[in-house]
Structure 1
């Protein structure tokens, strides 16, 4: 009988009694997985989409597979916070239902189904006569999952994937992994992942790589180094560690004895050659980096200790075309499992249509004193300094003497700022060497180890405000601001009250200043010295006072002070 080309299997061909997953060292067979899916699918509602909030990888994939069998898409939010779920309801309607494996997790306004950790049939048991080893076939064009990433507004942005796209995405990665490892298949390989399964990389390189590539996976998500070592030791070899540069560096710095692995996969940020070599030496495995995005899935790979050049998977090709928002080239990936040409938010150097070097995010490029670099490049050199446990460059809005000056934040308890600056002078052009290095205890990284632009900005402003450092922010006045219509014909200017409102908004964006002044500060003094015209760029400088808890401010337009004054947490007599 000819297979239906419109259907694709839920699982790759495999021994039904071989482990698909491991939970705390106990194997869970493919047969048991299929029985658990068959048991759960009829319990799902007839309509709607599943919001999969399971933290255990086995529970997660039982829920996702049951939803596929039932005909539902799975929505994968980055977290289970109440405001995230509320935004999902606003954008997708009231037909959503949540799949959870923690009975204590609440989902306000959303029906909830708790996935029980059922025992399932014993190996070799056909489950009362039913063929529990029969693999369901899924419509290849079915909307299988929507990965939800938080945009700049904080609202989850969906990236829909069909089952054909997910299957093709994994297939090209399996082919490359088998070639690099010189293996006929991934059968017998067990994956231990530190990344959340709701993230595109965590989904592709843990549960889907096992389901569609013949491997197995550990059901947990170890975070602390001791937990990672324990999880690796609990599964047989050959085994792989699926991780990120941040998690990998934390693991290697811990000093904990680590079990040997056969493969290390890393993604979410470029890895330094030094850290890659250190990881291969400590774990005795081959380290491969994966390049991709939520929109495209994984599209390229490199072995970092051998080359800086990335090579695309399968028949994927990349080309450059003009038309980026900043006037620069865009780099478009197309072919193979990609349903349509997909642009990347990165700057690449193309060697040919399948090989490239990665320079960093397009919105990561910075200009200092006429020179161009990327924050990723600066962070790479900062984190390559021995003794720097974690570090990040930040470029403030501040303009001093016409030159923006970068600041380096570091977790480096044994190093002084002078030592770090001296090391950076050996690695960077002089204009990018920071004038200031700020020591911090940790960074507000996400579960994948990523440090978002927004989180770093808020963190940096808070750190600088805590030690009394002036905080400087920029705001561009819209040329079509409605206030200009009445103030004044022929000579439009922004009313002083609106300038003060922008100062208040700037204070709200700095947690340390907001805590200092409270939600309703008092305007103790204000002087209006120059007009603010349409299109003006306001440089707002906030200076925490050494005593009294007040904050002085200056608002400059083209270097000229337009407004100056002072806010206090309590009412004072105006001067």
Structure 2
């Protein structure tokens, strides 16, 4: 059985994490993980709901070295956490915050600082984990429906992140500190704010800064060769704040399409290159590109894209089996491709075709629009024997009326694709990685229809 090291670090006194600018050593991290592994309840499955990135990392390491399986929830909503119990009946929630409404057994993250004295003379070795060990079940975000579970084995996870480190030019000789605005439970955050540090000999910041000022302050507290791991949504908000931003080593972006214009603005603001990751929960990371300079993506080594049954499949390398992509792809050669939109993104009304991505682009380009998205409801309007798709748009545009926005949209898109209704909101309930879940869209539309029936609608 092949054994693979938990960490790539050679020096046990090197930093593996930072908290408010103060380093936490590899030695201390391993001691914390061993102590937690001994303290956890006797169970095979642990739902790691820790919000603090260091505690999450300790929890994941504790499960790995004790043979437990981590379940990574797509959000901390009680209803979603409870769905995981149906998946694994023996699951216990490891949490560092209170979950008062949760009907699940909770194991509060213990105060390890009082239980452990990280003795420099103690004999501590970096654990080795069987490559075949099932490390975690990760769950899709639910942006297109109910979250789906996907297994990840330690050897293939390690291979995936090692390829990412090479693609980004990481070396042990020049370790990078990762600062993430995304939660570690999300596949992108899991790979690129945690495992990337573990397997490149680098470190990560324990926090998850959200507000622009907090992001800037956290980067200032970390070593100069830091990488900001973020999303297009967070990046746009950060640049809009017009703060003085520190020079860093690099930026990494994923979870949603990133425009070349936003990439160039970010590179100028941070005086650093920005790289974009393409992948999914199902496949893990598949490819990278320097968005400000290239439209094509370069696949990770050994990963292949195959066209069959009218769909593109990813396989090989670290991908567990053959996995269909949710995107339309133009293959340029064996190693490079371009994205042409999502399979679920296409809209066909009365024979005319467009994409939700293009419609969203037109909406967000309107002056005064701060946020917004088009949405295709499940239900369609029946007209005789046929059905008609009615698009909905949710828009955040302070001071603007729905009538004004509809008039502006008529200058940009065909009448068939105009939203009916256009719903004005104070903000959109995006999740931690900037996605708007389908269940949230359904709830917003249902609330609008209830308000309309009461005479409170704002339909243009």
Q: Same fold (TM over 0.5)?
A: yes
Tell whether 2:178 aligns with 1:177: no
- Equivalent residue number for residue 441 of structure 1: 426
Tell whether 2:126 aligns with 1:149: no
CA distance in 1, matches of 2:438, 2:160: 28
Tell whether 2:189 aligns with 1:198: no
- Equivalent residue number for residue 96 of structure 1: 91
- Equivalent residue number for residue 25 of structure 2: 29
Gap runs ≥5 in structure 1: 323-328, 469-543, 550-575
Larger mean Cα displacement after TM superposition, 54-63 or 418-427 = 418-427
Does the CA contact (< 8 Å) of 2:347 and 2:356 recur in 1? Answer: yes
Change (3 A) 1:429 1:265: farther
Change (3 A) 1:411 1:108: closer
Does the CA contact (< 8 Å) of 1:382 and 1:392 recur in 2? Answer: yes
- Equivalent residue number for residue 494 of structure 1: none
Tell whether 2:48 aligns with 1:52: yes
Does the CA contact (< 8 Å) of 2:46 and 2:94 recur in 1? Answer: yes
- Equivalent residue number for residue 326 of structure 2: 345
Change (3 A) 1:45 1:406: closer
The 3-state SS of whatever aligns with 2:215 is helix
Deviations 1:229-261 (A, max 9, x none): 121111111111111111111111122322222
CA distance in 1, matches of 2:237, 2:141: 25
CA distance in 1, matches of 2:422, 2:326: 29
Higher RCO (C-alpha under 8 Å, 6+ residues apart)? 2
CA distance in 1, matches of 2:294, 2:268: 17
CA distance in 1, matches of 2:408, 2:334: 37
Tell whether 2:108 aligns with 1:116: no
CA distance in 2, matches of 1:215, 1:318: 31
Given the alignment, which residue of 182, 188, 194 partners 1:207?
194
Q: Per-residue deviation at 1:420?
A: 5.3
The 3-state SS of whatever aligns with 1:118 is helix
The 3-state SS of whatever aligns with 2:224 is coil
- Equivalent residue number for residue 301 of structure 1: 288
- Equivalent residue number for residue 500 of structure 1: none
Tell whether 2:152 aligns with 1:161: yes
Tell whether 2:365 aligns with 1:379: no
The 3-state SS of whatever aligns with 1:58 is helix
Aligned length: 452
Given the alignment, which residue of 374, 396, 408 partners 2:393?
408
Given the alignment, which residue of 204, 223, 226 partners 1:217?
204
- Equivalent residue number for residue 369 of structure 2: 388
Deviations 1:203-235 (A, max 9, x none): 001011100122211001111112111211111
Does the CA contact (< 8 Å) of 2:177 and 2:203 recur in 1? Answer: yes
Tell whether 2:442 aligns with 1:457: yes
Given the alignment, which residue of 243, 248, 251 partners 1:264?
251
Q: Per-residue deviation at 1:73?
A: 0.9
CA distance in 2, matches of 1:87, 1:419: 42
Q: Per-residue deviation at 1:438?
A: 4.1
The TM-score, its normalising length taken from structure 2, stands at: 0.89
Change (3 A) 1:31 1:153: same
Tell whether 2:121 aligns with 1:136: no
CA distance in 2, matches of 1:156, 1:420: 34
Larger Rg, first or second structure (1 or 2):
1
- Equivalent residue number for residue 566 of structure 1: none
CA distance in 2, matches of 1:370, 1:268: 31
CA distance in 2, matches of 1:303, 1:388: 28
Q: Kindly report the root-mean-square deviation, in angstroms, between the aligned alpha carbons of the 2 structures.
A: 2.9
CA distance in 1, matches of 2:383, 2:191: 46
The 3-state SS of whatever aligns with 1:291 is strand
Does the CA contact (< 8 Å) of 2:8 and 2:198 recur in 1? Answer: yes
Change (3 A) 1:186 1:314: farther
- Equivalent residue number for residue 316 of structure 2: 335
Does the CA contact (< 8 Å) of 1:53 and 1:80 recur in 2? Answer: yes
Change (3 A) 1:31 1:187: farther
- Equivalent residue number for residue 5 of structure 2: 9
CA distance in 2, matches of 1:426, 1:312: 39
CA distance in 2, matches of 1:417, 1:113: 47
Q: Per-residue deviation at 1:45?
A: 3.6
